Amino acid sequence: MTTVGYARVSTIQQDLEIQLDQLKAAGCERLFFEKESGMKNQRRVFDSMLRRIRSGDVVIVPALDRLTRLGPFKMLSVLHEITERGATYRSLAEPWADTTHELGELHAAFIGYIARRTRDDIVRRTTDGRRKARERGVRFGRPPKLTIEQRELVLQMRAGGKPQCYIANAFQVSCSTISRIKAPCP
C-alpha cells in the first residue's frame, strides 16, 4: 500500500507549498502536484497519478475541490476511477469524505456539486466586475504596440507604397501588426 498525495492550484502565480506541507504531514509517500485549472477535463499530472495508483493505495488530497471543479458527475467519475483501481480516497479538509464507505462517496459527490457552484459564482462575479469596469471606461487587454501618431504614420507610409515588412522593421513590430492597421485611429 502506497499513500499518494495530489495537490493542485489553478494558476502559475499561486503557491503549492501549503498543500504540499499538508500532504507530507499526512504521510504521503508519493506526491503529484500541478498548476492547472480544476475546470480542465485533462490535466497531465493528474492523469499520470490516476494511471499510477494501484490496488491498496490511498489517494489523499488537501480538499475535494483539488480533484475537479467540473461538478458532481465528474467528481463521481474521478472517485469511481480511483476506487475501480482498488484504491481508496481521503480528503484532509473533509475528514468525512472517505471512499471506503458509501456515505463518503455521497458526500464527495455533494462537495463536487458545491465546487462547481462555487466556480459558477466566481465566473458570474468576475463577469459582472469586467462589465462594470468597461462601463467606467477601463480598457482590457494588451496596450497597443503603436501610438495613435505612429499608426497614422504607418497608414501614410503604406499609402506611399512602402512594403509592410519595411514599415514593421522601422517601428520594430511584426508585419502582422502593421497589416492589422486598417483605418485612421479615433
- Helix pair 44-52, 72-84: axis angle to 10 deg: 30
Residues 59 and 113 in one domain: yes
Confidence of residue 100 (pLDDT cuts 50, 70, 90): low
Note if the pTM is more than 0.85: no
End-to-end CA, the chain: 67
Residues 84 and 58 in one domain: yes
7-51, pLDDT tens digit by residue?
A: 999 888 888 999 999 999 999 999 999 998 888 888 999 999 999
The residues that bridge with 31 in the sheet, in sequence order, are 5
On whether residue 124 sits in a domain, the answer given is yes
Residues 127 and 157 in one domain: no
Segment of 48-52, 61-65, 90-94 carrying the highest mean pLDDT: 48-52
Containing domain of residue 111, as a range? 3-131
Q: Biggest alpha carbon distance in the chain?
A: 77
Q: What sign does the CA torsion over 170, 175, 180, 183 have?
A: positive
What's the helix, strand, coil split of the chain in %, to 5? 50, 10, 40
Residues 105 and 16 in one domain: yes
122-144, pLDDT tens digit by residue?
A: 889 889 999 999 999 998 888 88
Residues 103 and 161 in one domain: no
Residues 28 and 103 in one domain: yes
Q: Considering its fold, how many domains does the chain have in total?
A: 2
Give the residue carrying C-alpha cell 459582472. 128
Residues 75 and 109 in one domain: yes
On whether residue 167 sits in a domain, the answer given is yes
Report the mean per-residue pLDDT for the chain: 87
Cell of 10: 489553478
Confidence of residue 101 (pLDDT cuts 50, 70, 90): low
Catalytic residue among 10, 48, 55, 77: 10
Q: Please say if 10 is a catalytic residue.
A: yes
